[in-house]
Amino acid sequence: MRIALAVLRRDRRSQVATVLVALGVMIAVSLVLWLVAAPNGLQARADRTAWREIMGGGQNGTISVAANRDSFDGKLIERFDVARLKPDTVPVAKGITKYPEAGEVLLSPALADLVRGTPAEKLGNRFPGTQIGLLGPEALKFPGELVAIVGQEKVANGYPAPGLQGGAGSYRDDYHGMLYLLTRVGLVVLVVPCLVLVASAARLTAAKRERRLAALRLAGASPRQVVVMTAVETAVGAVVGSVLGVLLAQPFSHITAMIPWEGGTWYPGDFVPSPAVVVAVAVLAPVLVIAAAIMGLRRVVNRPLAAEEKRKVRSWRLLMIAGAMGVFFLGITYAQATSGDSQFTVVLLGLGAVAFALVLAGPVMTAWVGRFFVGRWRKPSTLLAGRRLAGDPVAAFRGSAGVVIAVFTGSMALTMLPGLESQVPYRDGTWKTDAIVAEDVAHDVTPLRLQTSAPIVTMLNGTVSTGKDSDYGTYVIVGKCTDVAQVLNGLTCKPGPAVYSYSELNGDVFRSTGPHDVVTSKLPARYETRPFQSHGRISGVIDPELLPGIEGEVSMVGVPTTPDNRDAVHTALIGTLPGVRLIDGEQRELWGGTLMDDLQRATIIGLSIAAVLGGIGAGVAAAGSVIDRRRTFGALIAAGTPIRVLGHALRREVMLPVFAVTIAACGAGIVVGVGLLSLARGLVGRGEMPITPWVLAPVAVGMVVALVAALACGPVLRGISPRDYAAE
């Protein structure tokens, strides 16, 4: 221990390496604590909003609840219409002051401020009644969330619920578990560059340390003494870095709380890992670093005379990529067939195995590249680089490992992002952009006509089939063509009753759908069919004159709007038809836009961290390779080799393996991205799987990062002189 501490006090290169190890461990610990805190934040949100899970009351429900999403001025509003079913006491969650009876309303603070500053006909009339209080932070998903609980006499479209009480919510419902999957993927692929950075820093003086320890072994030092020396040298930087990482995680969590997700930021205490997790990470990080340093001493301990021999690599390492891919897709199959907290475990193990396999296979490809250029060199710098790559591929590839993982991560993300974007629920084209449509209407629409001067289009939705139970039929709406054409896309009317359809209807029995009693009617034996170019889920429109017995039946209401009256019409629909679900293209665009912004933001943050870590690791490793070979470079300079030639050789050492291995990493990232996208399709719905040319962009970025890292060798190389050779 005294020898190890003496080396740290007197050897400047060992001091630099220790500082870099501390920085690497600090980054790794703070990053891991940040990522493992994400489930805590999600769970905190889920617990605060557990009262919104309205299902499960059955026939014994105390209240009826209709949950709908609303919007105003580019902001989403969560609305809950509630009505009593029984006179019993209604339990409420923390943050809800009391249950709002009919004619009473509870608003979140942000929504209350918005209502006060907006004309009532545009917003306030959507929440009729006396405001009896404000919702507290314990009942809100994020600061500034717009939430309203409106008491009604009756909610026709509600679901029975025992009350508005909270409990243990399921954060896996958050965007259907998407953030859970993203944070776990980030934990796997971002920790690897951290480990590469730590390893690169630890290897800054590896060659000199191995020679020193081999000499001590030959002088009589026991294996235990050599191991203790290495452990002490490594532990100083690792422990300091771990402590700094824990201290850095606290302010880092407050910065993270300002990153929006699902339309809002987080409360400061959301992103705080549990004390047990903090202790585990803080202890495990230096233990792993020390263990890795000790594992690297096998040759020094067992064969001190062979300490400077170059390690050979075997081609069997390439087979590990195929095996890791097999584990990954086995995990995809398992995740698609199961659910619960262990759903993604095998997937993440497979993902980590793929990243680890790429790092292990890198030296094999590096050796191949080196042998290729040794046999086909045209310049001395290319020959020097090729000799280095072929002679010591493990050391030559070490600096490229972080860049390779960054390219793998980038290709995976850019493969998934367009596919996820195609699944985001934007406007589907069924209704016109200026129309607002209320579905599941079970109310008298007469008051609505008194609330607005805009034209009111009443419709009845249902199916036309042969009447057999096995026939699902064609989805249609019944309404006067000239009226329906005001809100429905693709409909062109002509005089006289007719059926408007893209093809002949298969059957003549109409059956209504919706919250009201089922109404059936039969089409006449002969009727005219006119073309209808459907742009969405509605396949046909039937004039009501062709279906006797359905007069006055309404299940949908559509209103064409103008920019001037849109908010007023929206307010009138909600105020007079409480509990209905509004189909508003603007609202749907808002929700889809919020989701895509979140995904893009998470992707940019993750890729930026991976690129920065990979670049720093590559730069440290490149500089370390020069430090390790000071004697060799000093001899070459003494023999007359220009420093310019050595600089070219060093840049080729970094660039050539990066180019070769990043191509393979890009391919692996595309394959893994397609697999994760197939899993995400099960989480958010079906969609396309487009692969764009942008998936190749990480290769170019990786080359630029590697070039910048290679330039870090210049100052170190220029500091070497023939005197270094003489000193050695």
pLDDT tens string 690-708: 677 778 888 888 888 878 8
Which DSSP string do the residues of 246-275 spell out, in sequence order? HHHHHHHHHHHTTS-BTTB---TTSS---H
Sheet holding 63-72, edge to edge: 130-134, 104-107, 147-151, 75-84, 63-72, 159-161
pLDDT per position as a tens digit, 384-419: 888 888 888 887 887 788 888 888 888 888 888 777
Q: What is the pLDDT of residue 296?
A: 67
Confidence of residue 711 (pLDDT cuts 50, 70, 90): confident
Q: What is the pLDDT of residue 685?
A: 46
* CB contact at 8 A, 93 and 49: no
pLDDT category of residue 687 using cuts at 50, 70 and 90: very low
Task: Report pLDDT digits (tens) over 103-157.
Answer: 999 999 999 999 999 998 889 988 988 999 999 999 999 999 999 999 998 887 7
C-alpha R_g of the chain: 33
Which residue carries 């493992």 as its tokens?
Answer: 36
pLDDT band at 176 (very low <50, low <70, confident <90, very high): very low
Quick one: pLDDT band at residue 684, thresholds 50, 70, 90?
very low
User: Mind listing the pLDDT tens digit for each residue in 20-45?
Assistant: 788 888 888 888 888 778 778 878 88
Residue 677 tokens, joined: 């996208």
Residue 699: predicted pLDDT: 86
Instruction: Read off the pLDDT of residues 472-507 as tens digits, 9 standing for 90 and up.
Output: 788 999 999 999 999 999 899 999 999 999 888 888
Give the whole-angstrom CA distance, residue 134 versus residue 448.
29
Digit-coded pLDDT (tens) for 436-479? 999 888 878 888 888 888 899 999 999 999 878 777 788 999 99
Whether 660 has a pLDDT exceeding 90, the answer reads: no
Q: How many Å apart are CA 259 and CA 182, to the nearest integer?
A: 15
Report the distance separating Cα 71 and Cα 587, nearest Å: 6
Which of 369, 316, 411 has the alpha carbon at shortest distance from 660? 369
Please tell me the predicted confidence (pLDDT) of residue 686.
46
Structure-model confidence comparison of residues 170 and 602, the more confident one: 602
Query: How confident is the model over 549-590, as pLDDT tens digits?
Result: 888 889 999 999 998 888 889 888 888 888 888 887 667 677
Per mean pLDDT, which of 179-183, 225-229, 238-242, 637-641 is the most reliable?
A: 238-242
